[in-house]
Amino acid sequence: MKYLISIAYNGSKFYGFQRLKNYDTVQKRIEEALTIINKKEVTIKGAGRTDRNVHAYDQKASFNLDILINPENLQKALNSLVAPYILITSVRLVENSFHARFNTLKKEYIYKINTGPFSPFLQDYTYQPKSKLNVKEMKKCAKIFIGIHNFQNFVSGSRNNYNCIIYNIDFTYHNKILEIKFTGKSFYRYMVRNLIGAMLDVSNKKNTLEEVKEALNNPNIKKTFTTASPNGLYLAKIYY
């Protein structure tokens, strides 16, 4: 039987989502729990990877079990084994052909920035800049990224294809926390953090809007920007 689960987790407690042999990861914890329930080894397929210290509200993963378990009971059993820093928020049965990654239609990421006084209690969950942000210039920078582009200068590592579509980048405040939400088809390694970094560089006058445009429009011209801290990044929602 194939299942799809929704997962929330505190990324500050793990070495990322993907399984690593000698480190504690979200995937490793869930697979260990499912193996206990299934009484046979289980491997899950995540909708995407998150790095160390990156959080999630709605990560997704699909997997097969040898036994049929009511989704509600499976959710309760999983949560009893993966607590306290992982929470399975939903479980449902899916078709055998379903794949958590390949069936994804779009994703949302949120980056949180504390614009108020420094707080040690927010350190693991937001980025806390040392100087005041120029949010107006950051919004101008964000508009440059909307649409289909080659994001080679904003991605870490080598790929065969750097093209990606970003549908929206929205700015909202919750008290003193600035939330920047990215909605797109897919995002590559460090991409959101590098886009945030470019916005911060513009805000800090380290780079200009024209330099950001040039890096986006001419991917063969190598240009690097700040990579924002992982602490403020959340995988917010996966759409199918």
SS (H, E, C) 19-70: CCCCCCCHHHHHHHHHHHHHCCCCCCEECCCCCCCCEEEEEEEEEECCCCCC
Q: What is the CATH number of the domain that holds 154?
A: 3.30.70.660
Name residue 9's amino acid: Y
Could you count the other beta carbons within 10 Å of the beta carbon of residue 10? 16
Q: Are residues 235 and 191 in the same domain?
A: yes
Residues 88 and 112 in one domain: no
Q: Would residue 215 count as lying in a domain?
A: yes
pLDDT tens-digit map of 49-78: 999 999 999 999 999 999 999 999 999 999
Q: The domain spanning residue 44 has which CATH number? A: 3.30.70.580
SS3 82: helix
Residue 98 lies in a domain: no
Tell me the CA distances in angstroms from 125 to 25, 105, 120, 186, 240, one per residue in order.
18, 27, 10, 23, 27
Q: Tell me, yes or no, whether 101 lies in a domain.
A: no
Residue 204's H or E segment, with its range, is none
Of 24, 51, 58, 124, which residue is the catalytic one?
51
Q: Residue 100 falls within a domain, yes or no?
A: no
The answer on pLDDT for 223 being more than 90 is no
For the chain, the first-to-last Cα distance in angstroms comes to 19
Q: Is 51 a catalytic residue?
A: yes
The predicted pLDDT at position 229 comes to 96
Instruction: Count structural domains, the chain.
Output: 2
Q: Are residues 82 and 145 in the same domain?
A: no
Q: Is the pLDDT of residue 221 over 90?
A: no
Taking the model in full, what pTM does it have? 0.95
Q: At what angle do helices 135-145 and 209-217 cross, to 10 degrees?
A: 20
Assess whether pLDDT exceeds 90 at residue 224: no
Instruction: Choose the final residue of a domain: 36, 62, 93.
Output: 93
pLDDT digits (tens, 9 = 90+) for 154-197: 998 888 899 999 999 999 999 999 999 999 999 999 999 999 99
Q: Region 151-155: what's the mean pLDDT?
A: 95
Q: Which helix (H) or strand (E) holds 183?
A: strand 177-184
Residue 137 included in any domain: yes
Q: What is the three-class DSSP state of 127?
A: strand
Asked whether the beta carbons of 9 and 60 are under 8 A apart, the reply is no
Confidence category of residue 113, pLDDT binned at 50, 70, 90? very high
pLDDT at residue 180, as a whole number: 98
DSSP annotation of 95 reads -
Task: Note whether 73 and 117 are same-domain residues.
Answer: no
Whether the per-residue pLDDT at 207 is higher than 90: the answer is: yes
Share of the chain above pLDDT 90, in %: 93
Are residue 27 and residue 133 in the same domain, yes or no? no
**Nearest residue to 4 (alpha-carbon basis) of 109, 78, 81, 106:** 78
Single residue among 27, 62, 93 that ends a domain in this structure: 93
Domain containing residue 126: 106-239
Mean pLDDT of 211-226: 92
Give the tokens for residue 156: 């870490």
